[in-house]
Structure 1
Amino acid sequence: MGDLERELRDLSAWLETPDPPEVTARVRAQLTAPARRRRRWRSYAVAALVALLVAVLPPGRGALADAVAGLLRFAGVSVATSPAELPTGTPSPLPAQRTTTLDEAQRAVRFPIRLPAKLGTPEQVLVADPDGAGRYRVATLLYGGGTLRIDAFDGRLDLAFHKETSRPADWVQVNRDFAVWVGGPHTLAYVDRAGEVRVETARLAASTLIWQVGGVSYRLEGDLSKPEAIEIAGSLR
């Protein structure tokens, strides 16, 4: 319960629940009370705050409550906190992945591709996983010889990536909106349109920030600190 209570306390600070405010205040007070006073409140305080999360977060954000089961689903990415076996061998690329230009990539996807002002124009652009109409599901921007990447995709409906990590994800903010930080190396695999995890794509990923802008999901991955990643994400234009 220790990790769960800590994460719920962090999330409680972001709650905006004007109706009814006394419920939120009571839950917050119990979550920050001394241990001897929390014991008798613990079970229903956690349940109450999870219920509040589902009720007050914007549409699509209620899935954050999945964290209580050790599985977080956010912005089209699932993050499982468990001892993960590191992938071996060379990972396969995403389905039908190909190199293209930035302009062509914008025409090939169904969502706007935004660039981070902190990084500028990408050195290379990839698109992957086309549908029956030839529109691609994922656009990838590569920097630093491929050591820094941003994956952009529509995360409102389906999962696109699955992460396995031995450390819990951190709740952070990008431009005052929810984001998820996974610090350190972890296993990353692609989830296809049928919802199946493509194990052949599994690879060891670097630290990652996950966030959304206008219904479009972004994964920023690279050798970055948490503040550096948040600054880059906040510069998306």
Structure 2
Amino acid sequence: MATTFIWPFIILQCVTVVVIVLFLRMFLHRQLEIGMGRIKRMDKENLEKEVELNDRLEKLNEEYDMKIQNAEKQADSLINMAKETAKKMRDSERVKAKEEAKRIIASALQEKEKVLSEATRMVNSKAVDFSILILERVFSEDELSGLRHRVTKEVTGVLFGSDNVGELIRKNKDIEVVTADKLTAPDRKYILKMIEKQAKGKVNVKFVVDKSILGGLILKIGGSMIDGGIAYRVNKAVLELREEI
């Protein structure tokens, strides 16, 4: 009887255990599905975030590469600009140096020409003075006066017989006649007559005495000067002799 009573209890216990196991299985399976669903969603979200992060990282890398390229281009541009600026500065300084060298050379040549011209003028002046001294030593004052008078006559004839002088006189009515000695009245009258003949009319003639021309005469017609003085001839002769020597 005791055995008969135990079996139903055992069966009940087994059924209870089976029911509990089934319930637990169903409950755990449900929880497992929920957990797996959560895990899948989390995996999906993580994958999406990973893809998003990878995209952002790729974009950042592209932006970084682009910035690096732009920086390199800007650096190259700045370097080229610096080189070009340096080249222009060198060229400018080179041009300035050449111009300064040309200016210095031109100034030196100009100074040289000035010194040579002054030296030539002094030599010629000394030569003229020496020639005058020789004339004064060789001829007396009366002889020199006669010589000056003859030269003045000759020069007057030559000058007023020139077509070029005649053309100048016709264009300018104001004329200055320079002689070494004061002309006599007949000489003045003769020269005035020659001038009026060339001018084909009346002109304004001014007679001036300048001892430095030594003899002969100088005509100043407008802005032109025709030098027929002895000093000019002596100076010209000195230059010719210097060239021959």
Task: Give the TM bin, normalised by the shorter chain.
Answer: under 0.3
More helix by share: 2
Larger RCO: 1 or 2 (CA < 8 Å, sep 6+): 1
TM-score (norm 2): 0.19
How high is the TM-score relative to the length of structure 1?
0.19
